[in-house]
Each structure stands twice: as structure tokens, then as C-alpha cells.
Amino acid sequence: MKQKHTSTQSKQRRCAPRTARPSSCDYLRAKPFFTPVYEDDNLLIADKPAGVLVQDESGKICDTLLNRAKRYLHERGDASGCSSIKLCHRLDTGTSGLILLAKNADAEAQAVELIRRRLLQKEYLCVTFGQPSPSEAELRDYLLKDSAKGVVRVVKTPRTGAREIITRYSTLRTSGRLALLRVELVTGRTHQIRAHLASVGCPIVGDSKYGVNSVNRELKCKYQLLCAWKLTFPVIESGPLSAVSGQSFSAGEPWYVPQLREGVLK
């Protein structure tokens, strides 16, 4: 005999949550907006917009910078570069600017080694709420990472789990409560610039983790005003990156630089 379901059983069935199917994702579903700054057979330097995730290791988010780079190479007919391209370092989602990608394993290994040995000079532009004193300095402290909360904390003395951070800055211009800084990232730790400047009372405008949210809302800044503005390579005698030996590359000027210069942002 066929079993009849009561109204309660039917209701429970209708209300039972459905198991979500894993979403499939490939680079052709990424947005076709990609800005190359330099490209050769081994290397690709891109200018990343603020708000774009660099890479999603879960494979659920299609529109990442890495997938945009793959789509860009695919549409240019570079099948080899498309299949092997790798990120050499990362930028926070809300940070804009230059990011280095290698088209093959040899180029990736050389780039990663330059970064590890601190031979690739990284300069940033940012706007802070508050004007640093002195106007130019080198900050040396230690960084504690809380992976569970996705934040870091700056401490003044060495302790278990803390890693040394070195950040150099110089003030380029001030406007009211704000300052435009050029920052050199000597060590490259998670959220280093954001947390280090916040620790001296000058958080980056638009930063929701380490900044002042009331100011962020007032100035209508969705992402932190931080740009990886310039990359300078050392002299490279040989290897896949020798083509960029001693060269510097710059991102486009962020929108907030002329606004601060003209006193619109203050």
C-alpha cells in the first residue's frame, strides 16, 4: 500500500533546507577588465583595481585578478601562459595597484626569491586620517597575527609568534585632517602598512579593520585609500627576469591623489 503523507510531513518536506551544490568556476567567467603594465614571455605586471580579490582558493569566486589575467592571456592566444601563470605575491582585496605574475615556473621561482631577499622594492601611496609626526620616518616593530579573526596587532617588543616589521614613510602633502604618504614596504607582512600606520595614530582612510569607520562613512570611502604604486627591480644578470633588470614600473595615479592635492578631500 502506498503510504500517505500527513500535512505536517508534507510541510516538513517543503521546509527542509536543500543541500547547496558546489558552484563551478573557470577563468572565462571572470570580468574582461584587465590592465597590463608590462608583459614579456616570462612576466606579467598588472594594475589591480580596489575591490577585486586576487585569488579564491575555494574556486567559488570567478572574478579574481588571477582569473582576469588568465582570460586576458586566453583571448590573446597565449595558451601556455594562460595554463601556467601564477601570482608571485598578494594584495589585500581593498588595495589597488601593481601585482606581479609569472608565466612559468622558472620566472615564478626567481620572482619569489627576489621578494624573499627583499630585493624587489615596493612603494605605496596612501591617505591617512591624521598627519604623522615626524613627517618622515622608519617604523620598526613586531606583528602578531590572529588568523581566526583575520587581523594583526602591532607590538613594540619581541614575543612568541611576533615577526619583525619595517615600514618607511614620507609625507608628500597634507589636506585638513588628512595626509598623503609615500610608503616603502621593507618587510612584507599581512596588513603591515595598514596596521603599522594605525599603531602610530594615522590609520588609512577607508580601512574598515584598522581605521575610523565614522570618517570612512563621512568621506564615502568603500575601500582603503592604499595603492601599490611602484615596483623597482634590482640588477638581474641572468634568468627569466633579466629583461626587467633595474627597471621601475608605476600604477596609474589613484583618484584620491588629485582630490587631496586640490583640497577636495580633507
Catalytic residues: 92
202 and 131 in contact (C-beta within 8 Å)? Answer: yes
- Cis status of the peptide bond prior to 134, with omega within 30 of 0: yes
C-alpha span between 90 and 233 (Å, rounded): 17
Integer angstrom CA distances of residue 207 from 49, 154, 183: 16, 16, 16
Residue 53 DSSP symbol: B
127 and 137 in contact (C-beta within 8 Å)? Answer: no
Residue 31's nearest CA partner among 57, 66, 60, 59 is 66
3-state SS assignment for residue 242: helix
The shares of helix, strand and coil residues in the chain, as percent rounded to the nearest 5, are 25, 30, 45
CA angle, residues 152, 230, 222, in degrees to nearest 5: 50
